[in-house]
């Protein structure tokens, strides 16, 4: 653990004071590398993607503890008010990141070989997790740091594809809109058709198992009295486990192709991330359930989230059992009121330490 003059909350506050929006994580990576060295981690390094990586402990069981260093843009004052800490990343996801760091250090003599990684660009293009995958590390278990609360284990995330839409028409004079087609109007009609497609893939009352299409960026027009001939937009497509990205993209491109003469619509997908759902009977899930019961005297909850995380990308390329876990009020993520309760943060460290102990016991039992 940290020294008497620097407790877990101090580590968190110091991490929050380092502004680290996506692609600007280097200062925080240096901070984590320094902390790892002081906490007893070995092979501490900054890799090609800017990830801060270190190893601790020994044994046949190999565990990855991975949190992301980057935040969304928008610097916030770091403030502690009684049992709450506010600041950019307080929830998403520096409190989970620091909890993983400290719990990993406490597992030095537990009989498990821990690799801690502070990853880059989780809020962006995922360069950090991609480098961790390319580096070839094989693990039995992997825990990813995201906010959900100390008594909640995240076992599923929807998948995601970013769609770039380009709509082209002839355009014309705004004084005669009946005579020309507007690229913006055509995009609006496309969006209406996509919302109908979204409804056809809805599971009533279950957002995790439903598909969603959300416009996030829209640009159209060149002058105040000219009908737009070009509209460009970005759509955020979220996918339930039952819908592979290839199928959804093909269906959306088919919907986009239902246009009249004189209208051209192109839909280009970005790199897809497939949905992931953990086996709720896995050793890793059971280890966390036991840890929550033992340390918090609370009933553990299994959570399936509608977002997407690094767990999705990693789980589809590695045979490790995976879950996501961490403190923080997730409803405040990406907001100006981002916060974590101190008790929740400290409890999560204790749960993580106990989960590692339980995992070692379960792995030994499995090997008998």
- pTM to 2 decimal places: 0.90
Q: Are residues 113 and 186 located together in one domain of the fold?
A: no
Dump pLDDT digits (tens) for 75-93. Answer: 999 999 989 999 999 999 9
Overall number of domains in the chain = 2
Dump pLDDT digits (tens) for 199-210. Answer: 999 999 999 999
Q: Are residues 16 and 145 located together in one domain of the fold?
A: yes
Which residue, among 185, 183, 195, 186, has the nearest Cα to 235 in the 3D structure? 195
Q: Give the pLDDT of residue 367.
A: 57
Rounded to whole angstroms, what are the CA distances from 259 to 214, 253, 263, 264, 266?
A: 20, 11, 6, 7, 11
Q: Give the pLDDT of residue 137.
A: 79
Rounded to whole angstroms, what are the CA distances from 183 to 174, 213, 223, 254, 267?
A: 13, 20, 14, 18, 14
Whether the bond between 93 and the residue before it is cis, its omega within 30 degrees of 0, is yes
Dump pLDDT digits (tens) for 282-301. Answer: 999 999 999 999 999 999 99
**What are the DSSP calls for 194-229, one per residue?**
HHHHHHHT--TT-STTS-EEEEEEEEE-SSTTEE-S
Q: Are residues 145 and 176 located together in one domain of the fold?
A: no
Of the two residues 363 and 265, the one the predictor is more confident about is: 265
Dump pLDDT digits (tens) for 134-160. Answer: 997 789 999 999 999 999 999 999 999
Residue 368: is its pLDDT beyond 50?
no
Which residue, among 279, 244, 64, has the nearest Cα to 158 in the 3D structure? 244
Rounded to whole angstroms, what are the CA distances from 307 to 1, 71, 92, 281?
A: 32, 15, 12, 23
DSSP strand pairing (61-68 vs 141-145):
parallel
Whichever domain contains 209, its CATH number is 3.30.70.360
* Rounded CA separation 335/266 (Å): 33
Q: Are residues 36 and 120 located together in one domain of the fold?
A: yes
Q: Are residues 171 and 289 located together in one domain of the fold?
A: no
Q: Which of 236, 269, 302 lies at the terminal end of a domain, its last residue?
A: 269
92 is catalytic: no
Rounded to whole angstroms, what are the CA distances from 356 to 115, 119, 153, 212?
A: 13, 21, 14, 36
Q: Are residues 143 and 226 located together in one domain of the fold?
A: no
Two tokens, residue 358:
């339980």
Dump pLDDT digits (tens) for 351-360. Answer: 999 999 999 8
Among residues 122, 310, 338, 344, the one annotated as catalytic is: 122
Q: Are residues 139 and 201 located together in one domain of the fold?
A: no
**Residue 2 located in a structural domain:** no
Size of the chain, expressed as the number of residues it contains = 368
**What are the DSSP calls for 72-113, one per residue?**
-S-----EEETTEEESTTTTTTHHHHHHHHHHHHHTTTTTEE
Whichever domain contains 333, its CATH number is 3.40.630.10
Residue 5: is its pLDDT beyond 60?
no
CB 320 within 8 A of CB 141: yes
**Residue 265 located in a structural domain:** yes
Q: Give the pLDDT of residue 40.
A: 97
Dump pLDDT digits (tens) for 248-292. Answer: 999 999 999 999 899 999 999 999 999 999 999 999 999 999 999
Q: Which of 233, 252, 269 lies at the terminal end of a domain, its last residue?
A: 269
350 is catalytic: no
Which residue, among 344, 326, 285, has the nearest Cα to 67 in the 3D structure? 326
Q: Give the pLDDT of residue 1.
A: 38
Q: Are residues 14 and 114 located together in one domain of the fold?
A: yes
Residue 19: is its pLDDT beyond 80?
yes
Q: Which region among 45-49, 188-192, 306-310, 345-349 has the lowest average model confidence (pLDDT)?
A: 306-310
Residue with tokens 């503890």: 65
Count CA atoms closer than 13 A to 81's CA, side-chain side: 10
Mean pLDDT within 215-241 = 97
Q: Is 153 helix (H, G, I), strand (E, B) or coil?
A: strand
Residue 349: is its pLDDT beyond 80?
yes
**Residue 338 located in a structural domain:** yes
Q: Which of 249, 269, 289 lies at the terminal end of a domain, its last residue?
A: 269
Q: Which domain holds residue 195?
A: 159-269
What is the overall mean pLDDT for the chain?
95
Report CA Rg, the chain.
Answer: 23
Burial letters for 3-33: b for 16+ Cβ neighbours within 10 Å, e otherwise?
Answer: eeeeebbebbbbbbebbbbbebbeebbebbb
Q: Are residues 238 and 291 located together in one domain of the fold?
A: no
Among residues 25, 55, 70, 146, the one annotated as catalytic is: 70
Q: Give the pLDDT of residue 362.
A: 87
Residue 70: is its pLDDT beyond 70?
yes
Q: Give the pLDDT of residue 4.
A: 41
Q: Are residues 148 and 220 located together in one domain of the fold?
A: no
């Amino acid at each position: 653990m940290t020294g008497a003059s620097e407790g877990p909350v101090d580590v968190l506050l110091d991490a929050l004071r380092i502004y680290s929006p996506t692609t600007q994580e280097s200062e925080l990576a240096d901070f984590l590398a320094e902390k790892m060295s002081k906490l007893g981690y070995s092979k501490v390094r900054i890799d090609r993607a800017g990830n801060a990586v270190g190893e601790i402990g020994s044994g046949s069981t190999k565990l990855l503890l991975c949190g992301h260093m980057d935040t969304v843009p928008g610097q916030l004052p770091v403030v502690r008010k009684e049992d709450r800490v506010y600041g950019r990343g307080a929830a998403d996801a520096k409190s989970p990141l620091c909890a993983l760091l400290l719990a990993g250090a406490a597992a030095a003599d537990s009989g498990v070989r821990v690799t801690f990684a502070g990853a880059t660009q989780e809020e962006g293009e995922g360069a950090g997790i991609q480098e961790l995958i390319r580096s070839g590390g094989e693990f039995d278990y992997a825990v990813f740091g995201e906010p959900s609360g100390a008594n909640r284990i995240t076992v599923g995330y929807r998948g995601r594809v970013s769609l770039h839409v380009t709509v082209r028409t002839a355009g014309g004079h705004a004084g005669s809109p009946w005579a020309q087609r507007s690229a913006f109007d055509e995009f609006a009609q496309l969006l209406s058709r996509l919302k109908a497609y979204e409804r056809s893939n809805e599971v009533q009352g279950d957002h995790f198992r439903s598909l969603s299409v959300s416009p996030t960026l829209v640009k159209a027009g060149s002058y105040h009295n000219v009908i737009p001939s070009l509209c460009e937009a970005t759509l955020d497509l979220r996918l339930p486990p039952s819908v592979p990205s290839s199928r959804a993209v093909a269906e959306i491109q088919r919907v986009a192709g239902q246009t009249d003469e004189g209208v051209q619509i192109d839909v280009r997908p970005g790199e897809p991330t497939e949905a992931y759902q953990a086996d709720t009977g896995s050793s890793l899930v059971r280890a966390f359930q036991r840890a929550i019961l033992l340390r918090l005297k609370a009933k553990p909850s299994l959570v399936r989230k509608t977002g997407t995380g690094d767990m999705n990308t990693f789980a589809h390329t590695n045979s490790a059992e995976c879950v996501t876990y961490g403190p923080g009020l997730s409803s405040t993520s990406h907001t100006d009121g981002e916060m974590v309760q101190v008790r929740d943060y400290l409890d999560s460290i204790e749960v993580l330490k106990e989960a590692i102990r339980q995992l070692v016991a379960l792995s030994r039992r499995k090997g008998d």
